[in-house]
Amino acid sequence: MKKVLTVLVVEDDANEYQAVVDAVKNSNRQEKIDNGEDGVQIELRQARTFEEAERELATPGQSFDAAIIDLKLANDTGPSDLEDADKMGGRLVVDLIFKLFQLPMFVYTGTPGHIESLRDRESPFFKIHKRGGDVLVADIISDILTIHKGGLLNLLGDDGVIQTFGKHFHEIFWTHLAPAGEYWLIEENREALKRYVAQHMMEYLERSPDPAHAGFIPMHPAETYIAPSIKEKVFTGDILREASTGRLWLVLTPACDIVFQKKVADASVAGGIRYVRKADFITLAHLTPWREMPDIKDYNGDIVANHVKKLKEHTSNQRYAFLPKHKRLEASFIDFQKLLSVPEPDIDTAKFERVAAVSGPFIKDIIARFSYYYSRQGAPSLSGTMVDWI
């Protein structure tokens, strides 16, 4: 079945828009040659001004799978310099999409300097390219197709999140919500109801019909993290970068101790009020990058392939817990022997930068392992051998 992707092209120059049209025609032709009716076809909609783009994005029943955006449009009166760059029509479109929509954006402009302030937001789903540079329109079209194949553009499609949630919600409603319905008739319980449904939804999404998975779908390593952290203040499972050393630490203080229990007057903070946690000190465990783990380098300091198998042994060592790599983090080992105790007033200051958080299912296991490591009692050694004991 033919799949059609709709791309919004924010471009006022006829020649530049025609270049996009030509690139799409070539892509559609090649897709049809390679995949027949199963090939992905791209359709374009043009907007020449910010106002036209705004109308296109807001049109009922119209949805877009990606956007290609020029910065300076026909009705822009400026800017003559970088000072007013955020007022350019194309930049306004970028800001609008960031605020209200979920679709990949490719800025393709002759003046990329006007959007340098957003360079730190670049990702596979938001890229800034200079027109006439190394990247051609055909490359952008190729990137859009790659994103489609990765499934992002299908997120709201026939087998996407909304449909999947809807299917499971039907079961959750009749199996779990309705029998306990008296709880959910009270307005004060509305937030609890949202969490209740979300928790049940996760249980359904984790199920697997494959007996080899023992009923649970294996999780992707990226699911280990929430990056950046969502909670407003430092919390259990947060990964912090120490400003003075650059070292990474994991917050191990359990949630029951890291919660705020009172507020005190403090003229040094905004508003003059500081919230104080139950714990006087916050416990952090050091994250050792995998390349710095013992026994994986030779005497020259080079990593030896045969020694890397030592990492597998470290994962079974009760002293350590393994964390996989992430875009923000190198693969590392939590060292339960290398701990740092931080005074509670210091933890939410510039002394520590929040990098990410270890997600709920994983941090619970890590804290359990940490607790077990320090609860080991050991047993006295017996003299003799088994023969003497039986």
- The reply to whether 31 and 150 lie within a common domain is yes
pLDDT of 363? 95
Is residue 387 in some structural domain? no
Is residue 81 in some structural domain? yes
Number of domains in the chain: 3
- The reply to whether 187 and 279 lie within a common domain is no
Domain stop point among 126, 155, 184: 155
- The reply to whether 123 and 173 lie within a common domain is no
pLDDT of 9? 97
- The reply to whether 339 and 317 lie within a common domain is yes
Domain stop point among 155, 182, 200: 155
CA–CA dist 164, 126 (Å, integer): 27
Please give the single-letter amino acid code of residue 81.
D
- The reply to whether 180 and 237 lie within a common domain is no
Q: For residue 96, with 0-12 CB atoms within 10 Å meaning exposed, 13-18 middle and 19 or more buried, which class applies?
A: middle
Query: Residue 198 contacts by C-beta under 8 Å, 6 or more apart in sequence?
Result: none
- The reply to whether 141 and 71 lie within a common domain is yes
Domain stop point among 191, 218, 245: 218
Straight-line distance from the first to the last Cα atom of the chain, in angstroms, rounded to the nearest whole number: 73
Is residue 382 in some structural domain? no
- The reply to whether 128 and 236 lie within a common domain is no
Contact 292, 298 (CB under 8 A): no
Domain containing residue 229: 222-375
69-to-10, 26, 97, 276 alpha-carbon distances in Å: 5, 20, 11, 47
- The reply to whether 129 and 213 lie within a common domain is no
CA–CA dist 341, 281 (Å, integer): 6
Contact 353, 241 (CB under 8 A): yes
- The reply to whether 255 and 314 lie within a common domain is yes
pLDDT of 162? 63
- The reply to whether 151 and 13 lie within a common domain is yes
- The reply to whether 107 and 198 lie within a common domain is no
The gap from C-alpha 351 to its chain's centroid, in whole angstroms, comes to 24
Is residue 384 in some structural domain? no
Is residue 272 in some structural domain? yes
- The reply to whether 148 and 23 lie within a common domain is yes
Domain with 237 in it: what CATH number?
Answer: 2.30.30.110
* CA atoms lying within 13 Å on the CB side of residue 384: 5
pTM: 0.71
- Taking only the tens place, the pLDDT of each residue in 19-71 is 999 999 999 999 888 888 778 899 999 999 999 999 999 998 888 999 999 99
pLDDT of 155? 61
Is residue 55 in some structural domain? yes
pLDDT of 182? 79
Domain with 149 in it: what CATH number?
Answer: 3.40.50.2300
As a whole number, the mean pLDDT across the chain is 87
Is residue 193 in some structural domain? yes
Give the residues of the chain that fall short of pLDDT 70. 1-2, 77-85, 152-163, 208-215
Is residue 293 in some structural domain? yes
pLDDT of 215? 62
